[in-house]
Amino acid sequence: MKRVVLYTLLFICSIIFGNSFVLASNNQSMTVEVDLIGFNTSSSDEIGIEVPDYVDLGELTNSKKTSSEEGIWINNTGRIDLRVTPILNDPDEEIFKYLYFRKQQQTSTNNTDLITFKKIGDYYLDINKPGVGKTYSKEHCYLQLDLTDFTGIINEDVDNYRTDVVFLATAR
């Protein structure tokens, strides 16, 4: 009789309080949640850059596989010294993986052997934080597309071939 009363009470309690006891099968999962607060010590405006929206490298042909050097300015609009590294947005891009950067342009008066081009992803540019009372600090670099080592096949003429270059800005 005690067992019947006990089972009856358990049944009534489970109806009243809901079925809060779950019989477990062999494998179960649960969701775990936590709030993490105060770990990000940097302000959102510590790192900021501005780069040109567009650069045209001109026309390349089978007999002229290297573009002219185009200069660009990169502005540090944040509050700390930065290292800016250009990378391809699409890592599988076959043409623009031959995009090169360097700090100084080739001239007749400088030794360009000391100022070599570096391939996109390998090049970086350091930009100091803006001075007191200034809203930005800027640095200049040059880029060039050089298809001399390109071994792929371009089956037809392509006008306005484009890709996106991402400029990663990190604290230095």
Residue 4 is assigned to a structural domain of this protein = no
Residue 165 is assigned to a structural domain of this protein = yes
Full-model pTM: 0.71
CATH number at residue 96: 2.60.40
Give percent of the chain with pLDDT exceeding 90: 62
Residue 79 is assigned to a structural domain of this protein = yes
Residue 42 CA to residue 44 CA, distance in Å, equals 6
Range of the domain at 117: 49-151+160-171
Kindly list the distances between the CA atom of residue 158 and the CA atoms of 4, 11, 91, 164, in Å, as whole numbers in the listed order.
85, 76, 20, 17
Q: What is the pLDDT of residues 95-130, one digit of tens each?
A: 999 999 999 876 656 665 557 899 999 999 999 999
Residue 52 CA to residue 8 CA, distance in Å, equals 76
| Least confident among 5-9, 43-47, 96-100, 164-168 | 5-9
Residue 78 is assigned to a structural domain of this protein = yes
Mean pLDDT on 62-88: 93
Confidence of residue 11 (pLDDT cuts 50, 70, 90): low
Residue 49 burial (CB count, 10 A) = 17
Residue 87 clears pLDDT 80, i.e. is over it = yes
According to the model, what pLDDT value does residue 108 have? 58
Mean pLDDT on 57-82: 93
167 with 86: CB under 8 angstroms?
yes
| Least confident among 34-43, 68-77, 150-159 | 34-43
Residue 115 is assigned to a structural domain of this protein = yes
Residue 31 is assigned to a structural domain of this protein = no
Instruction: Give the total number of structural domains in the chain.
Output: 1
Residue 66 is assigned to a structural domain of this protein = yes
According to the model, what pLDDT value does residue 30 have? 61
